[in-house]
Amino acid sequence: MTLLELFRNIRPYARPYRGLIALTLGMTCVASFTAQVNAWVLRHTVDSISSLVAAHKSLIDGLPLLTAISAILVGTEIINVLISFGQKYSGEKLRILLSRDMAQSVIERVLTYRLAFHSVDENQPGRLQTRIDRGVESLARLVQNFFIDILPMFASAAVALAMMFQANFYVGLTAFCIVPVYYCVSRTQAARMAGSRRMIKRLRENKSQGILGILESMPVIKSFLREDIEESKQLSLQDALTDTQMRIRKTSFLFDGMKSFMEQIGAVAIILLTTYFVLTGSMSVGAIMFHLLLFNNVTAPIRRLHLLYDQMNDALIYAEGFFEVLHADAQVEESGTYIPPRVEGRFTLRGVDFTYPANATPTLRGIDMDIEPGRITALVGLSGAGKSTLINLLDKFYQPDSGEILLDGVSLRDYDTRALRANIGLVLQKNHIFPGSVAENILYGKPSATREEVMEAARCAFLHDQIMALPLGYESPAAKLSGGQQQKIALARMFLKNPPIVFLDEPTASLDAVAAEQIKLGMDAIKKDRTVIIISHSISQIIDADSIYVMRDGRIVEHGTHRELFNSGGEYHDIFAAMARSLNMDKIARTLDRA
Ligand code: ATP
């Protein structure tokens, strides 16, 4: 990203604060002149006192001069303090407001992206979070520093240089010559450090992702006693980060030394030149101080030029990643315009192929299916066969590479995505629980629902009595509930949403037998008059289905009713028999017979 592109990208965010920026610029203008007052006063003081001394005047004769100088210096300082406060306050305000706006817009944007965006490696949560945080921080800080640091200093330098030229062309020219040399050194410094900065950015993203991974996997790490492996993985990332940071610092200090040396050479040149003019009678003694102080004002921003470069490079590098996230237009979820008056729930799939963006090989191949409305369809198959992927496509989380998916005769592509999902309920094996109370979590299914409706939904999911037994009832933190209870929250959410189409992806896999039975009863209630697609490894749920599709390696290999498929002795027969054996059905049957 070039600097121009960077400013073009920031401009829309700065536009609402034009008034604030104009105020800051006004203050900068005043400050650039007040910054030169000291040099002017010093010259005047030295020259006036020199002439008083030459004329053998007493202290009393110098009093009016001293009073005037004191008044000017104190007055200027009061203005400087006020302006400096104003600049810092408005700069900080600008930074805070810009950070807020940028962070909000990136979140709003990411919420519109399709799931495929999140499935690629570089957009894993830790990496994405670092990219967003660092991007917002460095961009907002660049804008802030530009207005409270960089711009005032450069304005003051320009005025100081103009005054030097005006006082003496040759001294002005000498001061001016140092600027391009400084600029070249700063540029070289920035170029040397750019590669390392990019590496730091990548390492920081990896580090955040690593920390997030450790925190999320704590029980597994501990149970496998793998603390040392995780420590050393993190340590090698930290080491790489430290090395790169040290390399950057070393380069930075080296160039700082060079610049400081050149500045001193410039100061010596000014002293020699002004002394020459003083000795040849074309300048007063006060002009030496005058020019030296002005030269100091000229070099002050240049001395900090590398900081500007640092910040700009940081901003450029982090902005690249940040604006990539913000402008990933191709990732915005597609939506058609069709809003169905009523959804019946008939899915038709013809020749559907699908490959995950992160994968090389297809996950679904040539899928043909007819899912009848108001019926229960089960998807059966070994792990990794593609059952959940199929549901992801029916929910329009991903688009097929080829083939077509129709709902009630209309292509899913033509559906308004929000209208489509409003008609679909999804219960997964592990359902997400948001931070907050049980009531808030159930309300996620229908935010406008009354407390009565929430309780009714919880009753349907066999959860109400358990919640009421908790000291805080529906206000209990949902994250503290057991896995089974959290699963029931997901079912209650679904009851509250009350959609005509329901996808159940192994909804009882993480439950105990009693909870599974209760949830089965809850699901039986859900299934009534709805189109249900269920993925399950539970015999009891599969044999209830009106129609069963058997999948293997991303293909549909069998289709029929339970009896038809079982009698055909194919893949379904084998899976079903294995399920029955795993349940030890013979022994269970004998036990029940004896009872
Ligand atoms: P299970 O019964 O174990 O849940 P499944 O039949 O539901 O399995 P899927 O979850 O659909 O299988 O996975 C099918 C294949 O797609 C697997 O090889 C899996 O690794 C891959 N896959 C699933 N989700 C993603 C993803 N987000 N990105 C890349 N590959 C994925």
362 CB-near residues (< 8 Å, 6+ apart): 353, 354, 355, 401, 554
CA of 384 to the centre of ligand 1 (A): 5
* Region 502-510 average pLDDT: 80
What's the pLDDT score for residue 393? 93
Same domain? 271 vs 169: yes
Banded pLDDT at 46 (limits 50, 70, 90): confident
What's the pLDDT score for residue 122? 82
pLDDT at 278 over 90: no
Q: Which of 313, 283, 398, 306 is nearest to 1 (CA)?
A: 313
What's the pLDDT score for residue 306? 64
Domain-located, residue 443: no
Banded pLDDT at 511 (limits 50, 70, 90): low
Residue ending a domain, among 295, 329, 363, is 329
Banded pLDDT at 307 (limits 50, 70, 90): low
Is residue 383 within 8 A of residue 436, CB to CB? The reply is no
Domain-located, residue 434: no
Domain-located, residue 193: yes
Same domain? 225 vs 359: no
Same domain? 135 vs 9: yes
Domain-located, residue 280: yes
Q: Which of the residue ranges 142-151, 155-164, 226-235, 552-561 would you say has the lowest mean pLDDT? A: 142-151
What's the pLDDT score for residue 299? 82
Q: How far is CA 581 from the centre of its chain?
A: 49
pLDDT at 579 over 90: no
Integer Cα distance of 568 and 148 in angstroms: 79
CA of 208 to the centre of ligand 1 (A): 26
**How are beta strands 376-381 and 531-535 bridged, if at all?**
parallel
Same domain? 354 vs 323: no
Sheet with 410-411, strands from edge to edge, namely: 364-371, 347-354, 402-407, 410-411
Instruction: Kindly report the average pLDDT of the chain as a whole number.
Output: 86
* Region 374-390 average pLDDT: 90
Same domain? 353 vs 216: no
pLDDT at 387 over 90: yes
Residue 427, classified by CB atoms within 10 Å of its CB into exposed (0-12), middle (13-18) or buried (19+), is buried
* Region 209-231 average pLDDT: 83
Residue ending a domain, among 273, 302, 329, is 329
CA of 326 to the centre of ligand 1 (A): 28
Place of tokens 């530009």: 146
* Region 570-584 average pLDDT: 83
How many structural domains comprise the chain? 2
Same domain? 179 vs 276: yes
Residue of 372 and 144 predicted with greater confidence: 372
What's the pLDDT score for residue 549? 94
pLDDT at 555 over 90: yes
* Region 4-17 average pLDDT: 88
CA distances to 115, 157, 331, 401, 509 from 357, rounded to whole Å, are 10, 53, 12, 10, 28
pLDDT at 421 over 80: yes
389 lines ligand 1 (CB under 6 A): yes
Domain-located, residue 171: yes
Secondary structure of residue 361 in the 3-state scheme: coil
363 lines ligand 1 (CB under 6 A): yes
What's the pLDDT score for residue 210? 87
What's the pLDDT score for residue 482? 84
135 lines ligand 1 (CB under 6 A): no
pLDDT at 67 over 80: yes
Residue-wise pLDDT tens digits, 451-492: 999 999 998 888 899 899 999 999 999 888 888 888 888 888
The pick from 353, 356, 397, 542 for probing ligand 1's pocket by mutation, whose C-beta has the most ligand atoms within 8 angstroms, reads 356
Residue-wise pLDDT tens digits, 434-448: 888 999 999 988 889
Q: What is the CATH number of the domain that holds 406?
A: 3.40.50.300
Residue-wise pLDDT tens digits, 84-126: 899 888 888 988 999 999 999 999 999 999 888 888 888 888 8
Same domain? 261 vs 224: yes
Residue-wise pLDDT tens digits, 337-375: 999 998 999 999 999 999 988 788 899 999 999 999 988
The pick from 123, 353, 365, 387 for probing ligand 1's pocket by mutation, whose C-beta has the most ligand atoms within 8 angstroms, reads 387
* Region 192-220 average pLDDT: 83
273 CB-near residues (< 8 Å, 6+ apart): 170, 171, 174
359 lines ligand 1 (CB under 6 A): yes
Residue 66's domain comprises 3-329
Domain-located, residue 450: no
What's the pLDDT score for residue 17? 92
- Measured at the CA of 11, the angle between CA 6 and CA 16, to 5 degrees, comes to 155
pLDDT at 412 over 90: yes
Quote the percentage of the chain above a pLDDT of 90: 26
What's the pLDDT score for residue 510? 61
Same domain? 237 vs 140: yes
Q: Which two tokens stand for residue 409?
A: 């005769």
387 lines ligand 1 (CB under 6 A): yes
pLDDT at 377 over 90: yes
Q: What is the CATH number of the domain that holds 310?
A: 1.20.1560.10
60 CB-near residues (< 8 Å, 6+ apart): none
Same domain? 351 vs 324: no
Same domain? 321 vs 361: no
pLDDT at 281 over 90: no
What's the pLDDT score for residue 379? 93
Nearest-CA residue for ligand 1 atom 19 is 384
Enumerate the β-bridge partners of residue 377: 533, 547
What's the pLDDT score for residue 97? 93
pTM for the whole structure: 0.70
| Burial per residue of 554-592, b for 16 or more beta-carbon CB atoms within 10 angstroms, e otherwise | bbbebbbebeebbeeeebbeebbeebeeeeeeeeeeeee
CA of 253 to the centre of ligand 1 (A): 51
Secondary structure of residue 501 in the 3-state scheme: strand
* Region 41-56 average pLDDT: 86
What's the pLDDT score for residue 25? 85
Q: Which atom of ligand 1 is the closest one to the Cα of 358? A: 29
Domain-located, residue 447: no
Residues listed for the chain: 595
Q: Which of 85, 89, 81, 201 is nearest to 144 (CA)?
A: 89
pLDDT at 529 over 80: no
Domain-located, residue 429: no
What's the pLDDT score for residue 391? 93
- Work out the end-to-end distance of the chain between its first and last CA atoms, rounded to an integer number of angstroms: 76
Q: Which of the residue ranges 215-219, 257-261, 387-391 would you say has the lowest mean pLDDT? A: 215-219
pLDDT at 590 over 70: yes
* Region 272-288 average pLDDT: 87
CA of 385 to the centre of ligand 1 (A): 7
Same domain? 211 vs 83: yes
124 lines ligand 1 (CB under 6 A): no
Same domain? 257 vs 391: no
Residue ending a domain, among 300, 329, 358, is 329
What's the pLDDT score for residue 547? 92
